[in-house]
């Protein structure tokens, strides 16, 4: 451990550049996909009828369990089907996927289509299940 501090002192410019790059990457990655919302925050918005959930998983996964009232628009067709959300333009749109990894891309595409109130569900449906929140099947 002493050698790490010795290295940092002897090569302070190199260490400070590394820290600066690390912080820049963290900031860029956090802003890349837009704002996140927790499962409990999503429940609050949905219950007050201020939000609509867009599930970007494929049809098979969607039918295995979905958030009540969610609209299924798979990620690969989000650009072509974005017009289906025109009636919800004044509401908050919550994008949900399986584990929260692909929703950033959908948020970016929806914002490019002119939807400004778009957030992504942090952790996706997996976090929703982990919070013991209900899913409906059909």
Query: What digits encode the pLDDT tens for the residues 70-119?
Result: 999 999 999 899 889 999 888 999 999 999 888 988 998 998 888 888 99
In this structure, the answer to whether residues 74 and 126 fall within a common structural domain is yes
3-class secondary-structure state, position 90: coil
User: Is position 137 within any domain?
Assistant: no
In this structure, the answer to whether residues 76 and 117 fall within a common structural domain is yes
In this structure, the answer to whether residues 69 and 124 fall within a common structural domain is yes
In this structure, the answer to whether residues 45 and 97 fall within a common structural domain is yes
pLDDT confidence tier of residue 27, bands split at 50, 70 and 90: confident
Count: domains in the chain: 2
* Partner residues linked to 94 by β-bridges: 53, 119
Taking the C-alpha atoms of residue 115 and residue 23, their distance in angstroms, rounded to an integer, is 29
In this structure, the answer to whether residues 26 and 38 fall within a common structural domain is no
Mean pLDDT of 31-49: 86
User: Is position 72 within any domain?
Assistant: yes
Question: Domain of 86?
Answer: 34-131
User: Is position 9 within any domain?
Assistant: yes
User: Is position 111 within any domain?
Assistant: yes
Token representation of residue 17: 């550049």
In this structure, the answer to whether residues 100 and 117 fall within a common structural domain is yes
- Which value, to the nearest 10 degrees, does the dihedral of the CA atoms of residues 38, 40, 45, 49 take? 140
User: Is position 138 within any domain?
Assistant: no
Quick one: pLDDT at residue 102?
87
CB 62 within 8 A of CB 136: no
Evaluate if residue 34 carries a pLDDT over 80: no
User: Is position 136 within any domain?
Assistant: no
């Amino acid at each position: 451990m002493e050698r790490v501090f010795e290295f940092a002192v002897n090569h302070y410019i190199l260490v400070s550049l590394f820290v600066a790059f690390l912080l820049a990457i963290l900031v860029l990655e956090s802003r890349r996909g837009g704002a996140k919302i927790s499962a409990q925050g999503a429940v609050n918005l949905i219950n007050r009828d201020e939000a609509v959930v867009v599930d970007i998983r494929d049809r098979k996964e969607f039918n295995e369990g979905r958030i009540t009232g969610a609209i299924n628009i798979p990620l690969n067709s989000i650009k072509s089907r974005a017009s289906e959300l025109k009636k919800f333009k004044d509401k908050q749109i919550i994008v949900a996927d399986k584990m929260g990894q692909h929703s950033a891309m959908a948020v970016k595409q929806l914002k490019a289509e002119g939807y400004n109130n778009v957030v992504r569900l942090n952790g996706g449906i997996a976090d929703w299940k982990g919070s013991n929140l209900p899913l409906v099947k059909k």
